[in-house]
A and B are shown apart, each in its own frame.
Chain A
Amino acid sequence: MRFNGHGTQIVFSQCTRASRTDDRNPTATLCWLRRAEVALGAMIRFIGRRVAFMLATMLVASVLLFVLFELSSADVAVSALGPYSTAEQRLLWQTQNGYDLPALARYFEWLARFVTGDWRVSRSFNAPVASVVLSHLVNTGILAFWVFVFLVPLSLLLGVLAGMREGSALDRVISTASILLASVPPFASTVLVSAIFVFGLGWLPGTSSMIDGFSWRELVMPVIVLVAYDLGYVARITRASMAEVMTTPYVRTAILKGLPRSRVIWRHALRNALITPVTVLLLHVNWLITGVIVVEFFFAYKGFGSLILQAAMSQDLFLLEACTIVTVAIAVASQTIADLAYMYLNPKIRFR
């Protein structure tokens, strides 16, 4: 049990002295249970606060979207009916869909629709927004899954190898490579990787639209590019974290004690060195979204990123609104999970 909240020590001062392994002392066990209970309460409060922040963020996002896109009901009518609709059609549509009401009333109605999952119909897809968003999200989920399958072990391995011996030849090679990788913008890595494998060698297809059903070959390029896009950054973070841990007194003690280096690294250094990178990987969902949009656009992959862009380009407001809210939800949820992971992994930080 990691969540033994420190704040409780003052309240249960008699508990602190009793060890939790002291089975003969029933008070100790009782105290320990009580402490665990308090810690659990703290954790639940923390999650509650994060969820409240998440909802508040999404509420503000909804206000922002409403002000940007829905305030002018004429614009919405144009978006719903297309640019070639007549003025009468638009007016009729406005009265039919309640767009003649005052803005505040419309906002609450709009919000209620959103919360209940009625996201209306996308003009460019001619289908319910919710189903369009869902199917594209699944595709991006597949892409993101394979990106993480390769990104996580690769970046952590490179970072740990570099940070193990700061200043070694291996460190310098990996560090240089990762700052180079981190400096290539996502669109440039898309083009440059394509230049090698698609234009140059011709090994892989240049589009991943998957018209004839799911194709592994078409998934390779987007995954390579996204891994390359994030690898440099995460490897750099891991290296810094590992290098810092290697200079701590407890690692030095372990080395001076004469333990084999591999044992020091596996048993002592790694556990603490990986706390930050794991959190960063989760926090990076926000950063990865940029890459996903660019990559899906270039390879015409039918995922969530290209959907946002398509909605924006075709001024399909209902679709764009839904996509934006979903992205904000994904971003905030991943930040919450990252916070929780950090607290779980790092026993020094406790729930307050």
Chain B
Amino acid sequence: MTSGSVIKGKLGQVNAKASALRIVLVQVARLRESRVAMIGAGLVLFWIIVALLAPLIAPFPPNATIQPLAKPGTLASNGHIFWLGTDHLGRDVLSRIIWGARTVLVYAPIATGSAFALGIPMGLFAGYKSGWIDEILSRTSDLVLAFPTLVLYIVLIVKFGASGLNIVLAVTIASSPAIMRITRGLVIDLRTRGYIYAAQLRGESAWYVMLVEILPNARGPLIVDACLRLGYVTMTIGTLGFLGLGLPPPDADWGGMINEARQFAIVFPHIVVFPCLAVSSLVLGFNLLADGVREISLRE
């Protein structure tokens, strides 16, 4: 059973009348069916709120150098407490983690979104048109997927430089072939359905059939993949920052925080441990969300 029918089945009549917003709300409300999904959504939501409220809740400015290498819980001169200590340059670790949530929650969705924006049309084309278009797109994606991902990122970033835009581009190049493959598989499955033939006989254009008839019915697995991929891109952005290939300093970035303070880790582990916990919890949130959504769609 495809999870496209999840949406078609029970909610079919509701969907026909309800507005687009209503559909989204109904879908989101269904997350309550899975505890795993709720925990995942909670973790992700927590970080989204932290990122949105960063200027209000961060006790210190993220790049202000105040008091170097303070242990967690040290009292600052202005009466605030360095809850998670400060780094080697005297910047408050907690504030940098809070602001770092902004960085990752801006770049991860943008990078994932652009990978999907490229991968989905390619997959639709390859699956729907088949023939030589499919052959070319599939072979190209095989080639890109044969590259070890991090090596591909390193090569691209060495050539084009480390910047937010280049990270987005590198993630798009490396992940869109995988998204294309998933979409293509779904399209090939859906292509032979009755309602597709009906649309073709009505004389609808190929674009209409792909975007209006096929894509909405393929969204289940794509949403699951998007959640997983968001987690994976979060990991990637962190890894690049950790290797010193990420966003240029001084802006707070979880991976970069670890890279900068590596030499101090043995004596002052708090500088590196907390950013690690932050990134792991966000990735865990995305992974649990993906697991939960998959569970819900399989239950139908």
A298–B264 CA distance with the chains assembled, in angstroms? 13
> At the interface with chain A, which of B106-114, B127-135, B144-152, B193-201?
B144-152
A290–B159 CA distance with the chains assembled, in angstroms? 19
The answer, among A180, A191, A289, A320, for a CB contact under 8 Å with B276, is A191
A184–B280 CA distance with the chains assembled, in angstroms? 5
Given A199-B266, A328-B147, check contact A186 B273 (CB 8 Å).
no
Chain A's closest residue to B267 (CB) is A199
Number of interface residues of B (CB under 8 A): 40
Q: Could you tell me the distance in whole angstroms from the C-beta of B176 to the nearest C-beta in chain A?
A: 16
Are B276's CB and A290's CB within 8 A?
no
The answer, among A200, A290, A309, for a CB contact under 8 Å with B148, is A290
The answer, among B155, B234, B272, for a CB contact under 8 Å with A312, is B155
A180–B258 CA distance with the chains assembled, in angstroms? 20
The answer, among A53, A57, A180, A313, for a CB contact under 8 Å with B284, is A180
A183–B227 CA distance with the chains assembled, in angstroms? 13
Residue-wise interface mask of A (252-285) relative to B, using a CB-CB cutoff of 8 A (1 in contact, 0 not)? 0000000000000000000000000000000000
Q: Could you tell me the distance in whole angstroms from the C-beta of B298 to the nearest C-beta in chain A?
A: 12
Interface assignment of A332: CB less than 8 Å from any CB of chain B: yes
Q: Could you tell me the distance in whole angstroms from the C-beta of B181 to the nearest C-beta in chain A?
A: 14
Q: Could you tell me the distance in whole angstroms from the C-beta of A72 to the nearest C-beta in chain B?
A: 11
Are B287's CB and A183's CB within 8 A?
yes
A57–B177 CA distance with the chains assembled, in angstroms? 15
Majority DSSP secondary structure for residues of B touching A: helix
The answer, among B146, B255, B284, for a CB contact under 8 Å with A335, is B146
- Within 8 Å CB of B147, what residues of A? 61, 327-328, 331
Interface assignment of B83: CB less than 8 Å from any CB of chain A: no
> At the interface with chain A, which of B163-171, B211-219, B238-246?
B238-246
Are B151's CB and A324's CB within 8 A?
yes
- Within 8 Å CB of A186, what residues of B? 235, 239
Q: Could you tell me the distance in whole angstroms from the C-beta of A337 to the nearest C-beta in chain B?
A: 14
A328–B144 CA distance with the chains assembled, in angstroms? 10
A335–B142 CA distance with the chains assembled, in angstroms? 11
Chain A's closest residue to B157 (CB) is A312
The answer, among A61, A191, A308, for a CB contact under 8 Å with B272, is A191
Using A184-B283, A185-B283, A328-B147 as known contacts, list a sample of 20 further A-B pairs with CB atoms less than 8 Å apart, ordered by residue number in A: A179-B291, A182-B287, A183-B284, A185-B238, A186-B239, A187-B239, A188-B238, A191-B265, A195-B273, A199-B266, A200-B269, A206-B265, A293-B151, A293-B243, A294-B242, A312-B154, A312-B158, A315-B158, A320-B158, A332-B146
